[in-house]
C-alpha cells in the first residue's frame, strides 16, 4: 500500500546533540511537510518542500533544518535540541499544494 | 485563512450518529472546509472536504449551511475506533503556488470525540 513512513517512531537525544528524523513516501507526491506537535496541542507546520523548492514558515526556529535529496525522502535536522523541542514530529505529503495531505505515524522525540 | 470554532469535547454512543459542529463565520467565498481527525498517537487523517454543497464519502458526510458560516461532520454509525480529535479547517482553494504559508493546514484545538460502548 502507498504510504508515508517515518523512522524511527521514537527517538531519544541529549540536550544539544544533533538529531535527524526521516520520512519517506511511496505516493510519489510533489509536496512534503514537517509538522511539530507538542503534548495536547494541535500540529504546527514548520516547513514544506514543493518538489525541490524549500519553504520555511516565518516562525520556525533556525535550529530546525530540512533536506529533500529526492522525491521520496525528506529529513528533519535539529541542530541543537533543547528541552522545549520534545514533541511529536509529523511528516505529511500531498500531490500538490492545497491538496489532501497524507500523514505518517510521527516520530516522538524525547530530549534528555 | 478563516478561523474555526469547535466544541472542545463530545460524547457519542457506539452505533449512533456522531454530529460534530464547526463554526467558520468569517469564511471567504474561495475557502474550502476540511475535516481531519487524529487518533491517539497517530498522524492526522483526512476525512472529507467541501466548498458549499453537501459531501459524502465512505467515512462521513459533510453538511454546510447555505450561508457557509457553519458545517457539521456526520459519522453515521460511530464505532469505538472513531474516538479521536476532529479538526475543522478552512483553507483557500488552490489558484497558484506562492511559497511559504500557501495552502497550509492551520489546525485549531479540535473536538475530542469519545465514542462510548
Mean pLDDT of B109-113: 95
Nearest Cα to B68, choosing from B25, B103, B102, B97?
Answer: B25
Query: pLDDT means per 10 residues in chain A (112 residues)?
Result: 88 96 96 94 92 90 96 97 97 89 95 96
Predicted local confidence at residue A44, as pLDDT: 93
Of A42, A47, A97, the CB nearest to B103: A97
Least Cα separation, residue A56 to chain B (angstroms): 6
Mean pLDDT of B96-108: 70
Predicted local confidence at residue A23, as pLDDT: 97
Cβ-based contacts under 8 A for chains A and B:
63
Of A55, A56, A103, the CB nearest to B43: A103
CB atoms A97 and B94 under 8 Å: yes
pLDDT digits (tens, 9 = 90+) for A24-54: 999 999 999 999 999 989 999 999 999 999 9
Do residues B15 and B117 touch, judged by C-beta distance below 8 A? Answer: no
- CB-based burial of residue B18 (10 Å sphere; 0-12 exposed, 13-18 middle, 19+ buried)? buried
CB atoms A58 and B101 under 8 Å: yes
Mean pLDDT of B61-71: 96
Any idea of the CA torsion for A24, B58, B56, B94, to the nearest 10 degrees?
10
Predicted local confidence at residue B106, as pLDDT: 85
Least Cα separation, residue B14 to chain A (angstroms): 25
- CB-based burial of residue A57 (10 Å sphere; 0-12 exposed, 13-18 middle, 19+ buried)? middle
Amino acid at each position: 500500500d502507498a504510504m508515508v513512513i517515518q523512522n524511527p517512531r521514537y527517538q531519544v537525544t541529549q540536550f544539544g546533540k544533533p538529531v535527524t528524523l526521516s520520512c519517506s513516501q511511496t505516493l510519489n507526491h510533489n509536496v512534503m511537510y514537517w509538522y511539530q506537535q507538542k503534548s495536547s496541542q494541535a500540529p504546527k507546520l514548520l516547513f514544506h518542500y514543493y518538489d525541490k523548492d524549500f519553504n520555511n514558515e516565518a516562525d520556525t526556529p533556525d535550529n530546525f533544518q530540512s533536506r529533500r535529496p529526492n522525491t521520496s525522502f525528506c529529513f528533519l535536522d535539529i541542530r541543537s535540541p533543547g528541552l522545549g523541542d520534545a514533541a511529536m514530529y509529523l511528516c505529511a505529503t500531498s500531490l500538490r499544494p492545497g491538496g489532501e495531505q497524507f500523514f505518517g505515524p510521527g516520530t516522538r522525540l524525547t530530549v534528555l | 485563512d478563516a478561523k474555526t470554532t469547535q466544541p472542545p469535547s463530545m460524547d457519542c454512543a457506539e452505533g449512533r450518529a456522531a454530529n460534530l459542529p464547526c463554526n467558520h463565520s468569517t469564511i471567504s467565498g474561495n475557502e474550502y472546509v476540511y475535516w481531519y481527525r487524529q487518533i491517539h498517537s497517530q498522524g492526522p487523517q483526512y476525512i472529507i472536504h467541501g466548498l458549499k454543497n453537501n459531501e459524502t464519502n465512505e467515512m462521513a458526510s459533510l453538511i454546510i449551511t447555505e450561508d457557509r458560516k457553519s458545517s457539521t461532520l456526520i459519522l453515521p454509525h460511530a464505532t469505538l475506533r472513531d474516538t479521536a480529535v476532529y479538526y475543522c479547517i478552512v483553507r483557500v482553494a488552490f489558484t497558484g503556488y506562492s511559497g511559504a504559508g500557501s495552502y497550509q493546514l492551520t489546525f485549531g484545538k479540535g473536538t475530542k470525540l469519545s465514542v462510548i460502548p
